[in-house]
Amino acid sequence: MKEIVRQNFKVKLVETEEELYKVRRLRYEALILGHRDPSTITFEESFTEEDRDCDNLIVVDTTNDTVVGSYRFITKEMFERPNCRIESFYSEWGFNIDDLKKLPYKILELGKAAVHKDYRNGVVIKLMLKGASEYAKEHGLRLLFGIITMPEMTDADLRNVFSYLYYRSPQTDPNMQPYALEPSIPMDSVPIEEIDVLKAKRQIPTAVKAYLALGCKFAKSACPRNKLLHHADMLIMLDIENMNKRYAQYVLK
Protein backbone atom coordinates (compact mmCIF):
# COMPACT_ATOMS: atom_id res chain seq x y z
CA MET A 1 0.00 0.00 0.00
CA LYS A 2 1.29 3.46 -0.88
CA GLU A 3 2.17 5.55 2.16
CA ILE A 4 -0.31 8.35 2.97
CA VAL A 5 0.97 11.61 4.44
CA ARG A 6 -1.29 14.18 6.12
CA GLN A 7 0.42 17.06 7.97
CA ASN A 8 2.47 15.44 10.76
CA PHE A 9 0.96 11.96 10.28
CA LYS A 10 1.80 9.11 7.94
CA VAL A 11 -0.30 6.01 7.31
CA LYS A 12 1.43 2.81 6.20
CA LEU A 13 1.70 -0.94 6.68
CA VAL A 14 4.06 -2.41 9.26
CA GLU A 15 7.37 -3.37 7.65
CA THR A 16 9.81 -3.93 10.52
CA GLU A 17 10.02 -5.77 13.84
CA GLU A 18 10.35 -2.40 15.60
CA GLU A 19 7.08 -1.20 14.07
CA LEU A 20 5.31 -4.43 15.02
CA TYR A 21 6.55 -4.08 18.60
CA LYS A 22 5.17 -0.52 18.73
CA VAL A 23 1.82 -1.76 17.42
CA ARG A 24 1.65 -4.44 20.09
CA ARG A 25 2.61 -1.93 22.79
CA LEU A 26 -0.13 0.46 21.61
CA ARG A 27 -2.74 -2.31 21.61
CA TYR A 28 -1.73 -3.43 25.09
CA GLU A 29 -1.92 0.08 26.50
CA ALA A 30 -5.11 1.10 24.67
CA LEU A 31 -7.08 -2.14 24.74
CA ILE A 32 -5.85 -3.91 27.89
CA LEU A 33 -4.52 -1.41 30.43
CA GLY A 34 -7.40 0.94 29.74
CA HIS A 35 -9.95 -1.71 30.72
CA ARG A 36 -8.36 -4.43 32.88
CA ASP A 37 -6.10 -4.92 35.87
CA PRO A 38 -2.61 -5.32 34.29
CA SER A 39 -1.87 -8.18 36.69
CA THR A 40 -4.49 -10.31 34.90
CA ILE A 41 -2.70 -10.31 31.55
CA THR A 42 0.91 -9.44 30.75
CA PHE A 43 2.19 -7.66 27.66
CA GLU A 44 3.64 -10.92 26.34
CA GLU A 45 0.30 -12.72 26.83
CA SER A 46 -1.67 -10.06 24.99
CA PHE A 47 -0.61 -10.94 21.45
CA THR A 48 -0.14 -13.98 19.25
CA GLU A 49 2.20 -14.86 16.43
CA GLU A 50 -0.77 -14.51 14.06
CA ASP A 51 0.06 -10.80 13.98
CA ARG A 52 3.01 -11.66 11.73
CA ASP A 53 0.73 -13.31 9.17
CA CYS A 54 -1.62 -10.32 8.92
CA ASP A 55 -1.16 -6.90 7.41
CA ASN A 56 -1.00 -4.30 10.17
CA LEU A 57 -1.88 -0.69 9.36
CA ILE A 58 -0.34 2.06 11.47
CA VAL A 59 -0.69 5.81 11.87
CA VAL A 60 2.60 7.43 12.93
CA ASP A 61 3.03 10.89 14.44
CA THR A 62 6.20 11.96 12.65
CA THR A 63 6.98 14.67 15.22
CA ASN A 64 7.90 12.00 17.79
CA ASP A 65 7.92 8.76 15.73
CA THR A 66 5.07 7.34 17.84
CA VAL A 67 2.55 4.80 16.55
CA VAL A 68 -0.75 6.42 17.54
CA GLY A 69 -3.27 4.25 15.67
CA SER A 70 -3.47 0.74 14.23
CA TYR A 71 -5.69 -1.83 12.55
CA ARG A 72 -5.02 -5.52 11.91
CA PHE A 73 -6.19 -6.63 8.45
CA ILE A 74 -7.27 -10.20 7.67
CA THR A 75 -8.63 -11.50 4.34
CA LYS A 76 -9.72 -14.98 3.26
CA GLU A 77 -6.81 -15.03 0.83
CA MET A 78 -4.34 -14.91 3.73
CA PHE A 79 -5.53 -18.33 4.95
CA GLU A 80 -4.08 -19.83 1.77
CA ARG A 81 -0.57 -18.50 2.28
CA PRO A 82 2.12 -21.14 2.99
CA ASN A 83 2.63 -21.74 6.73
CA CYS A 84 -0.04 -19.20 7.65
CA ARG A 85 -1.04 -19.43 11.30
CA ILE A 86 -4.38 -17.68 10.79
CA GLU A 87 -7.22 -20.21 10.88
CA SER A 88 -10.25 -17.93 11.02
CA PHE A 89 -11.36 -14.33 11.23
CA TYR A 90 -11.01 -12.86 14.71
CA SER A 91 -14.74 -11.98 14.71
CA GLU A 92 -15.68 -15.66 14.57
CA TRP A 93 -14.92 -16.23 18.25
CA GLY A 94 -18.17 -14.43 19.09
CA PHE A 95 -20.15 -14.10 15.84
CA ASN A 96 -21.49 -16.30 13.08
CA ILE A 97 -20.31 -14.57 9.90
CA ASP A 98 -21.10 -17.36 7.42
CA ASP A 99 -23.22 -14.95 5.35
CA LEU A 100 -20.24 -12.63 4.94
CA LYS A 101 -17.89 -15.43 3.91
CA LYS A 102 -20.39 -16.52 1.22
CA LEU A 103 -20.59 -13.11 -0.43
CA PRO A 104 -19.59 -13.08 -4.12
CA TYR A 105 -17.00 -10.36 -3.52
CA LYS A 106 -13.89 -10.04 -1.36
CA ILE A 107 -14.10 -9.04 2.30
CA LEU A 108 -11.65 -7.42 4.73
CA GLU A 109 -11.71 -7.72 8.51
CA LEU A 110 -10.58 -4.65 10.44
CA GLY A 111 -9.43 -6.03 13.77
CA LYS A 112 -7.81 -4.90 17.01
CA ALA A 113 -8.37 -1.21 16.32
CA ALA A 114 -6.38 0.92 18.77
CA VAL A 115 -5.88 4.67 19.14
CA HIS A 116 -3.42 6.29 21.55
CA LYS A 117 -5.19 7.94 24.49
CA ASP A 118 -3.79 11.38 23.57
CA TYR A 119 -5.07 11.22 19.97
CA ARG A 120 -8.77 10.43 20.35
CA ASN A 121 -10.15 13.61 18.83
CA GLY A 122 -11.27 11.92 15.61
CA VAL A 123 -8.24 12.76 13.43
CA VAL A 124 -6.43 9.42 13.81
CA ILE A 125 -9.52 7.23 13.33
CA LYS A 126 -10.26 9.09 10.08
CA LEU A 127 -6.72 8.41 8.90
CA MET A 128 -7.13 4.75 9.82
CA LEU A 129 -10.33 4.58 7.77
CA LYS A 130 -8.57 6.32 4.89
CA GLY A 131 -5.81 3.72 5.04
CA ALA A 132 -8.32 0.85 5.20
CA SER A 133 -10.18 2.24 2.19
CA GLU A 134 -6.99 2.56 0.14
CA TYR A 135 -5.88 -0.95 1.12
CA ALA A 136 -9.28 -2.34 0.13
CA LYS A 137 -9.18 -0.63 -3.27
CA GLU A 138 -5.65 -1.86 -3.93
CA HIS A 139 -6.61 -5.49 -3.17
CA GLY A 140 -10.04 -5.51 -4.80
CA LEU A 141 -11.88 -5.79 -1.47
CA ARG A 142 -15.40 -4.49 -1.08
CA LEU A 143 -16.86 -5.23 2.36
CA LEU A 144 -15.09 -4.01 5.50
CA PHE A 145 -16.20 -5.60 8.75
CA GLY A 146 -15.02 -6.03 12.30
CA ILE A 147 -15.75 -6.02 16.00
CA ILE A 148 -16.20 -2.81 17.97
CA THR A 149 -15.73 -3.15 21.73
CA MET A 150 -17.99 -0.86 23.72
CA PRO A 151 -16.97 1.13 26.80
CA GLU A 152 -18.13 -0.26 30.13
CA MET A 153 -21.75 0.66 30.84
CA THR A 154 -24.91 -0.80 32.37
CA ASP A 155 -27.00 -3.37 30.52
CA ALA A 156 -29.79 -0.83 30.12
CA ASP A 157 -27.43 1.75 28.63
CA LEU A 158 -25.95 -0.85 26.25
CA ARG A 159 -29.38 -1.83 25.00
CA ASN A 160 -30.27 1.84 24.56
CA VAL A 161 -27.11 2.55 22.52
CA PHE A 162 -27.39 -0.63 20.46
CA SER A 163 -31.02 0.07 19.59
CA TYR A 164 -30.26 3.66 18.64
CA LEU A 165 -27.45 2.52 16.32
CA TYR A 166 -29.53 -0.27 14.81
CA TYR A 167 -32.45 2.01 13.91
CA ARG A 168 -30.11 4.73 12.63
CA SER A 169 -28.22 2.40 10.25
CA PRO A 170 -29.40 1.42 6.74
CA GLN A 171 -31.63 -1.62 6.38
CA THR A 172 -29.52 -4.77 6.46
CA ASP A 173 -29.37 -6.89 3.32
CA PRO A 174 -31.37 -10.13 3.93
CA ASN A 175 -28.43 -12.05 2.45
CA MET A 176 -26.04 -10.48 4.94
CA GLN A 177 -27.28 -11.35 8.43
CA PRO A 178 -24.38 -12.17 10.78
CA TYR A 179 -25.33 -12.63 14.42
CA ALA A 180 -23.70 -13.04 17.84
CA LEU A 181 -23.29 -16.49 19.30
CA GLU A 182 -25.28 -17.16 22.48
CA PRO A 183 -25.57 -15.56 24.93
CA SER A 184 -26.36 -12.45 22.93
CA ILE A 185 -28.15 -9.10 23.04
CA PRO A 186 -30.59 -8.20 20.23
CA MET A 187 -29.56 -4.93 18.61
CA ASP A 188 -33.18 -3.77 18.60
CA SER A 189 -34.21 -4.74 22.14
CA VAL A 190 -35.50 -1.23 22.96
CA PRO A 191 -38.53 0.00 20.98
CA ILE A 192 -37.66 3.01 18.86
CA GLU A 193 -40.08 5.30 20.72
CA GLU A 194 -38.43 4.44 24.07
CA ILE A 195 -34.81 5.19 23.12
CA ASP A 196 -33.07 7.94 25.08
CA VAL A 197 -31.47 9.55 22.01
CA LEU A 198 -29.44 12.22 23.81
CA LYS A 199 -27.95 9.70 26.22
CA ALA A 200 -27.14 7.27 23.42
CA LYS A 201 -25.33 9.96 21.42
CA ARG A 202 -23.17 10.82 24.44
CA GLN A 203 -22.14 7.18 24.93
CA ILE A 204 -21.29 6.23 21.34
CA PRO A 205 -17.51 5.86 20.77
CA THR A 206 -15.92 8.23 18.23
CA ALA A 207 -15.02 5.42 15.86
CA VAL A 208 -18.63 4.19 15.76
CA LYS A 209 -19.86 7.70 14.96
CA ALA A 210 -17.53 7.75 11.95
CA TYR A 211 -18.67 4.32 10.75
CA LEU A 212 -22.31 5.28 11.19
CA ALA A 213 -21.86 8.48 9.18
CA LEU A 214 -20.27 6.44 6.38
CA GLY A 215 -23.35 4.19 6.25
CA CYS A 216 -22.27 1.08 8.14
CA LYS A 217 -24.66 -1.71 9.08
CA PHE A 218 -24.69 -3.87 12.20
CA ALA A 219 -25.10 -7.56 12.93
CA LYS A 220 -28.57 -8.25 14.28
CA SER A 221 -27.27 -9.13 17.76
CA ALA A 222 -24.27 -8.29 19.94
CA CYS A 223 -22.00 -10.20 22.31
CA PRO A 224 -22.46 -9.08 25.95
CA ARG A 225 -18.92 -10.01 27.11
CA ASN A 226 -15.86 -10.51 24.92
CA LYS A 227 -13.17 -13.03 25.80
CA LEU A 228 -10.41 -10.53 26.54
CA LEU A 229 -11.86 -7.39 28.12
CA HIS A 230 -15.26 -8.68 29.30
CA HIS A 231 -16.98 -5.75 27.60
CA ALA A 232 -19.79 -5.92 25.04
CA ASP A 233 -18.91 -6.33 21.34
CA MET A 234 -20.91 -5.50 18.25
CA LEU A 235 -20.12 -6.32 14.63
CA ILE A 236 -20.09 -3.57 12.01
CA MET A 237 -20.14 -3.90 8.21
CA LEU A 238 -19.28 -1.23 5.66
CA ASP A 239 -19.76 -1.73 1.91
CA ILE A 240 -17.30 0.71 0.33
CA GLU A 241 -19.30 0.75 -2.90
CA ASN A 242 -22.38 2.02 -1.06
CA MET A 243 -20.93 4.44 1.45
CA ASN A 244 -22.38 7.86 2.20
CA LYS A 245 -20.49 9.64 -0.58
CA ARG A 246 -20.72 13.11 0.95
CA TYR A 247 -19.25 12.01 4.27
CA ALA A 248 -16.77 9.70 2.56
CA GLN A 249 -15.34 12.68 0.67
CA TYR A 250 -14.84 14.43 4.01
CA VAL A 251 -13.35 11.44 5.90
CA LEU A 252 -11.46 9.69 3.12
CA LYS A 253 -10.10 12.66 1.18
Instruction: Report phi then psi at 12, rounded to 5.
Output: -160, 175
Q: Which residues pair with 74 in a beta bridge?
A: 109
The whole-number pLDDT of residue 38 equals 57
Task: Strands of the chain (E only): list them.
Answer: 4-6, 9-13, 55-61, 66-74, 95-96, 106-115, 141-149, 179-180, 185-186, 217-218, 221-222, 233-239
* Alpha carbon distance 161, 177 (integer Å): 20
* Alpha carbon distance 121, 99 (integer Å): 34
The whole-number pLDDT of residue 94 equals 93
Q: What is the pLDDT of residues 23-68, one digit of tens each?
A: 999 998 888 766 555 555 666 666 678 888 999 999 999 999 999 9
Instruction: Say what percent of the chain tops pLDDT 90.
Output: 72
- The larger pLDDT score, comparing residue 43 to residue 239, is at 239
* Alpha carbon distance 230, 61 (integer Å): 31
Q: What is the pLDDT of residues 97-148, one digit of tens each?
A: 999 999 999 999 999 999 999 999 889 999 999 999 999 999 999 999 999 9
Q: With 80 as the cut, is the pLDDT of residue 83 above it?
A: yes
The whole-number pLDDT of residue 33 equals 67
Cα-trace Rg, the chain = 17
Examine residue 170 and say whether the peptide bond preceding it is cis (omega within 30 degrees of 0): no
* Alpha carbon distance 100, 178 (integer Å): 7
